[in-house]
Amino acid sequence: MKPRKILGRSAIVAMLAMLPLTPAVAETLRLVTNWSTSSYSVARTLQFVEDFNASEAAKAADIEIVHLGGPEVTPATEQLTALSNGVFDMLFGAAGYYVGTVPESRALYGTAITPMQARETGATELLNTIYEDKANAHVLGWVAAGVGYHIWLRDEPKLDENGLPVLDNVKIRSSGFYNAWLGKYGATTVTVPAPDIYNALERGVVDGAAWPGLGITDYGWEKFVGYRIDPPVWQFDNLIWVNKDKWMSLTDAQRAALSEAVFAYEPVAHEFYANLRKEEDVEVAAAGVKSFRMSPKAESAFVAHARSVQWDKLQEANSPYWDQLRAALPAE
C-alpha cells in the first residue's frame, strides 16, 4: 500500500490560484417587491431584471440586480421605510401604499397621462425630487399604468337622475383608499383583504368589490359578480425606487445603465399591462360578467369625481408641491 501524499499549505494555495473563478460584480442591488413572484406584475418586473442583468450596459458598468423576495422579507406597507433606511437597495411596488409618507403619490391616480408623457411634462423628475426629500428614495420610473379600477357588482346597479350609480345599502369590499370614492354613491364599505374577497362574496358578506381591471381571475371570484361598472377610473401607480444613498454611491456609468434601462422599459411595460387587461376582459366576459355603461356625460362625471377625490386628499395634506403636480400631472 502506497503512502498518501500530504500537500503543504503553499501547494494548496497554488492549486486554488489555478482554478477558474467567476468574476464578482462590483455592485449588486438588492430588490424587494410589494408582492410575491406569483403576481403578474412581479413576474414581469423580474423579466426586466433578467434582461437588465444580461445587457451589455449592465455588464460594462459592472452592476446587477438580485431579487431578495416580497412581503415575506418586509411587509409591503413597511417596505418604503425599509428602503429609506437601507435595509435593501431597490423597491418595486405601489405608490398608493405610501400616501401617509408621501401624499403626493395621489397625483398618479388623479392624472390622465401615461408614464411616457410624465417624462415629457417633468412629472417623473418632480416625483423623484419629492421622494428623495421625503423618503430618501430615488425614483427610477413609473413602470405600470394604463390599467384602471372598477366597481364590480353582483347585481345591476340603478342610476340616479344624473345617470350615476346608486349604491345605497350595497356592501362593497373596500380599503381606506376607495372609501371616499365609493361613499359618493352611497355604498356601505367593508374592509376585506384581497385574499378574502372570494369568501366574502361567496358568503354574501359583500355585494361587490372595488378592484382593478386585472387580477379577478387570479382569485377566481369572477363567478360571484355579474357587472363591472365602466369606464375605469385612476390607473396603476407602480414605481421602481432606489435608496438615495445607494444611488449616490453608484458610478456615473451604473446610474446611466439603470436610468436608461427603466426609461426604455416604461413603454414596454405599458403595452404589457394593456394587453394583459384585454386578455382578462375576454376571460371575465366569458364568465358572464357584463360591462355596465352610463351616458357619456355621466361617465365623464364618474371619472372626474374619482380623480378629484385624490386631488382633494392631496390638497388636505397641504403639499408644497401642489401647483407643480397639477401642472405636470393634468387630470384631463
Place of cell 397639477: 326
Look at residue 23 in the predicted model and tell me its pLDDT. Answer: 54
Residue 172 corresponds to which cell in the numbers above? 362593497
Domain parsing of the chain, residue ranges: 27-147+235-276, 149-231
Give the Cα separation of 36 and 43 in Å (integer): 9
- Look over the chain and give the mean of its residue pLDDT values, rounded to a whole number: 92
Architecture (CATH level 2) of domain 27-147+235-276? 3-Layer(aba) Sandwich (3.40)
Residues 154-179 pLDDT 10s: 999 999 999 999 999 999 999 878 88
pTM: 0.88
Residue 218 corresponds to which cell in the numbers above? 387570479
Residues 64-89 pLDDT 10s: 999 999 999 999 999 999 999 999 99
CB 157 within 8 A of CB 292: yes
Look at residue 63 in the predicted model and tell me its pLDDT. Answer: 98
Q: Which residues of the chain have pLDDT under 50?
A: 1-22
Give the Cα separation of 256 and 263 in Å (integer): 10
Look at residue 14 in the predicted model and tell me its pLDDT. Answer: 45
Residue 303 corresponds to which cell in the numbers above? 371619472
Q: Is the dihedral of CA 49, 53, 54, 55 positive or negative?
A: positive
From the list 70, 59, 332, 109, the residue with the least C-alpha distance to 236 is 109
Stated as kind and residue range, the H or E segment containing 91 is strand 90-94
Cβ contacts of 164 within 8 Å, gap of 6 or more: 185, 294, 298, 301, 302
Cα 247–250–252 angle (5° rounding)?
Answer: 110
End-to-end CA distance of the chain: 89
What's the fold here for domain 149-231? D-Maltodextrin-Binding Protein; domain 2 (3.40.190)
3-state secondary structure of 138: strand
Look at residue 296 in the predicted model and tell me its pLDDT. Answer: 97
- Do 27-147+235-276 and 149-231 fold alike per CATH? yes
Look at residue 24 in the predicted model and tell me its pLDDT. Answer: 64
